[in-house]
Structure 1
């Protein structure tokens, strides 16, 4: 396959019809072509025939491998790799537009448009850096701008893939264009992500000032390189006298000679640009300039405080709305409630003692809702753990305040001592005590709440709101639904709470309890109906007079488990505007992105949450997103550390087992799952136990597990698919089709990621391969890093006879560590009989 042959080929490899040449470079020629199978225009970048050789081919393959990892709207996408003999071509996204160099020459953009373009470049560059990729040749010619104003980074031919945990550094040879190189790149020394930021600074300077930052004149490349490494850049105000001072600060930092003088990351530059774009295009004060400068040079923790202090600053937003509205937000408080210490006895015996202890705990747990910038963090220690050990655990989880209550009771009178303790130093910051009558539990609850609020600084207090008093028998019912945090809630608990809400619609505690109970039941059963009911009840509660902040928080908890992004983000914005703790919102956003299959965004926001509050929950969110993008070893390491620190953190064991299952270590996965007490088994854990049986060939045993799950969660598409697969493995195709048809009925009107995934599998198995392929391509665009989407793609392409595509995704799954047993279905094994099956697939995925 040489250049001439490709130019004259009407249809290459039965799929791509070459129309004309778009351009040529030092190594390759780019053609406009049509993907006749999918009916779309593509760009094919082919290695020139006179450049064939180990070095040139290796560079092309390296670019393909890097682009395969990069899925971002501001990076040109790779669709396919074509190889024949000693030639290679990349099938890429066709960008209808011009290079940034041409765009600057042909347009007269506003400052806002320029900043917007630079912010997009930062986002694409940040994605590459996060995946351990340095571009090394970032220049206006390698950035494309679409007719809609979307910036796309291209030409990763000399980019290098490095590990994020090695801080993107290593010795490397000089590569790239002189005008795009940083001083350290020109000198052939260690490179990290900040080398690309110098190149970004050159681009930003030229875009903003309409001049290049270094005068070249007639000097040659070596002399010009010497100038870049030793001479200062032209002051921005010299080329643009009216340039806002914040932009001077930004350009000066980006073009600093030493990497340590530059911003830490493309994300940091994005934050500074968005600060100017959102708030300061017309600002020109010294104080504002200093704010931008601090944003660029302060350590991470201090920088976040600067970010919060800037009015209207939008930070780290992959979806364009993450705006902190507060000018100087109070330092967030993450509050946990320690177990209640009960001494003495009460008339009425053990039952009365349990109810009083529950009342005290619920009163303390409701306190964060009545404080600004505060959030409750659930905490249930192992019985018998000392207070010091509990405080150590809380400190490790990033808890700022612990509430402790000690009760001394005799007959019907109790004395309560309340303490606010800081886990970091085990010191009691504030304490108070008073007496109450055990039979007057509601009055005691309000006294406890009000007294506890006095233990916190005045700045955190919200105007108090009186809860609606319940009848004693109703209050006892409420306490009974909350009496044991370690006991799994039931639908009966929801029914009791719903009845109480209808009687006391202004009582905020009832709504909070309902949301928590519904979320827990959903995690255990995967029955989405409880979420629908909960959301309807919480929405109606908005007109009841109950505390709106608490209702919003409860709604966010429910919406984080549903696929409606717009509704989730709307509630998130409302909580942001009210000063809700940022780490808590970041964690919810990470959880939501994970549930929607956007794992890289989920990982990003979970990492941000950990940086603000290193709680076990936030570390867990990091780990599940790492697992989802197939970073098995790092996810396992984090989960093992998490479960060692807190041995009864059961969600950690569940994900560890899922990783072991995916890697084919079934015995270890089963052992890990059995570590979790049965009462804490979730729907997902039981499903994985069934999958272990299925992959071990115990089809009937697996079906028993799946049918049991289906009883508890009717119309569950995951279970319906699992049952269908067990029938396929037994050769009972007609029975399998019954369940695939049921999946089509259940998913007919659903648009969430998993519904489309299982619909694609069902369609392919029922012979509707064209529709199935169109659906799987949509899924790959939405979540290209999702292991199960790739597994589905392999299956669908195999059933459609698209052997090359099936082989491509199967190789990816094998390379990331998925075990052979996951490919036992007939569709996968049929690929093994095809000539397109690679040696890797034949060796690792084809069963004897």
Structure 2
């Protein structure tokens, strides 16, 4: 159906020599389809990523990055082309990549409850993939759990290079930071964003930003929560009106985390870029730690279920006023992130059902973050898009979350549910996915309790 929108193409649609089998997911800039080459169906499926926007420059840049990188942990670029169609009969670029079979990182962890040794080996693989990217002078710029797939044998793949870049690439946005995901931004990126909020000077990201994002990914993987933002939000005023939350080392929050793993995660999150080390150095250190790990590294980390799904990476704003609105929204989200990052889920409140971890919780395969059911829950959605069939359900906790406000709740603004105060999302309908927790046919977010200022410092 040539008049269908790019994200709604039916099975059997031909894009050049490729026949679509079904849609695997949707992200901020593209829809991903499982496809086969006509006449070569026996060769197996591929991942075809079709742009949601005509003449999208990010696809050209992503193709260039993938064509430069050669590593088993990064999907190969197999083909690229254009599809002419949609309601306006315009050209939409597409990329064809290896089909990667696996689960998104955080979903894999929920199903498997890995130990420190397994996580050390997995992080070492991701560091090697980043090393391959950096050695050809490219950057990923959106390293996070949603952009990591873990195969049946524990092999890790770094996917979705839609934010990737290389030295000769021209900026595609007029904002200080390139599109990305806020909690994974480095301290240097956040400071630059504030310092240049009015003049739009672009931040020059480096390999150390990817390493920091890998540290955030690892921290969330083992603790179930984000570390506090990696910069002092009050420094812009030339003084301190309050102290930022202190980041607790992973082994303090989860005693089962081995000291070696905890120390390496702290290293990746170091304030000074030089202290983080290169991807190669980290891979060496992670591999050495995995090889010499003692018995304590074989302890399962248990359930470190996260409070909320991954934040949504929205498409870059097209104009100046949109940039201002996006900046204000980002500032609000940063405030929200500060108190969310200090939460800890009650012990056992997200225990895995019996049998989880005994068998595969479901696999996906593709070379884009938008393929998994977890990322489908956080992708930018179309109002008339088909609802995903295997979305991740966020059930209402049986008791209040740590840091959540307890009754009395504000009349007409907050709802008391299971001993906690919740705010209803008026424009969200179940399944809630990225729009909160479901209760009685509505979607809710937890209301944060008022907390005393944290006067401690970062270590």
Contact 2:25 2:33 in 1 (8 A): yes
Query: What do residues 292-333 of structure 1 show as CA deviations (whole Å, max 9, x unaligned)?
Result: xxxxxxxxxxxxxxxxxxxxxxxxxxxxxxxxxxxxxxxxxx
> How far, CA to CA, are the matches of 1:252 and 1:246 in structure 2?
10
Deviation at 1:78, TM superposition (A): 1.5
Contact 1:2 1:87 in 2 (8 A): no
Out of 279, 285, 305, the residue aligned to residue 272 of structure 1 is 285
Aligned equivalent of 1:107: 112
> How far, CA to CA, are the matches of 1:172 and 1:127 in structure 2?
27
Contact 2:22 2:34 in 1 (8 A): yes
Q: Pick closer, same or farther for the CA change 1:246–1:232 going to 2, 3 Å.
A: same
Q: Pick closer, same or farther for the CA change 1:67–1:274 going to 2, 3 Å.
A: same
Q: Pick closer, same or farther for the CA change 1:101–1:242 going to 2, 3 Å.
A: closer
> How far, CA to CA, are the matches of 2:223 and 2:294 in structure 1?
15
Structure with more relative contact order (C-alpha pairs < 8 Å, separation 6 or more): 2
Aligned equivalent of 1:52: 54
Aligned-partner SS, 2:247: coil
Alignment of 1:776-791 (within 5 A): none
Aligned-partner SS, 1:21: strand
Query: What do residues 243-298 of structure 1 show as CA deviations (whole Å, max 9, x unaligned)?
Result: 333233212211112212221x11111111111110133489xxxxxxxxxxxxxx
> How far, CA to CA, are the matches of 1:128 and 1:14 in structure 2?
29
Aligned-partner SS, 2:154: coil
> How far, CA to CA, are the matches of 2:151 and 2:144 in structure 1?
16
Query: What do residues 183-226 of structure 1 show as CA deviations (whole Å, max 9, x unaligned)?
Result: 1222334422111111111112222334432389xxxxxxxxx9
Alignment of 1:558-573 (within 5 A): none
> How far, CA to CA, are the matches of 1:252 and 1:8 in structure 2?
46
Q: Pick closer, same or farther for the CA change 1:25–1:283 going to 2, 3 Å.
A: closer
Aligned-partner SS, 1:60: helix
Q: 1:63 aligned to 2:62? A: yes
Aligned equivalent of 1:256: 270
Q: Pick closer, same or farther for the CA change 1:112–1:20 going to 2, 3 Å.
A: same
Deviation at 1:15, TM superposition (A): 2.3
> How far, CA to CA, are the matches of 2:185 and 2:4 in structure 1?
31
Q: 1:25 aligned to 2:27? A: yes
Alignment of 1:401-550 (within 5 A): none
Contact 1:119 1:274 in 2 (8 A): yes
Q: 1:129 aligned to 2:134? A: yes
Q: Pick closer, same or farther for the CA change 1:88–1:2 going to 2, 3 Å.
A: farther
Deviation at 1:83, TM superposition (A): 1.2
Contact 2:11 2:22 in 1 (8 A): no
Aligned equivalent of 2:40: 38
TM-score of the pair, normalised by structure 1? 0.29
Q: 1:91 aligned to 2:96? A: yes
Contact 1:174 1:187 in 2 (8 A): no
Aligned-partner SS, 1:46: strand
Aligned-partner SS, 2:94: strand
> How far, CA to CA, are the matches of 2:4 and 2:191 in structure 1?
36
Q: 1:182 aligned to 2:186? A: yes
Deviation at 1:60, TM superposition (A): 1.2
Deviation at 1:146, TM superposition (A): 1.6
User: What are the ranges of 5 or more consecutive residues in structure 2 without an aligned counterpart?
Assistant: 85-90, 169-174, 193-202, 231-239, 298-459
User: What are the ranges of 5 or more consecutive residues in structure 1 without an aligned counterpart?
Assistant: 164-170, 217-225, 285-848
Contact 1:3 1:46 in 2 (8 A): no
Aligned equivalent of 1:153: 158
> How far, CA to CA, are the matches of 2:4 and 2:131 in structure 1?
35
Alignment of 1:260-409 (within 5 A): 260-263=274-277, 265-282=278-295
Contact 2:163 2:178 in 1 (8 A): no
Deviation at 1:158, TM superposition (A): 1.2
Out of 11, 14, 17, the residue aligned to residue 15 of structure 1 is 17
Q: Pick closer, same or farther for the CA change 1:34–1:250 going to 2, 3 Å.
A: same
Q: 1:209 aligned to 2:214? A: no
Alignment length (residue pairs): 262
Alignment of 1:496-645 (within 5 A): none
Query: What do residues 547-598 of structure 1 show as CA deviations (whole Å, max 9, x unaligned)?
Result: xxxxxxxxxxxxxxxxxxxxxxxxxxxxxxxxxxxxxxxxxxxxxxxxxxxx
Q: Pick closer, same or farther for the CA change 1:248–1:10 going to 2, 3 Å.
A: closer
Query: What do residues 674-722 of structure 1 show as CA deviations (whole Å, max 9, x unaligned)?
Result: xxxxxxxxxxxxxxxxxxxxxxxxxxxxxxxxxxxxxxxxxxxxxxxxx
* Structure index of larger Rg: 1
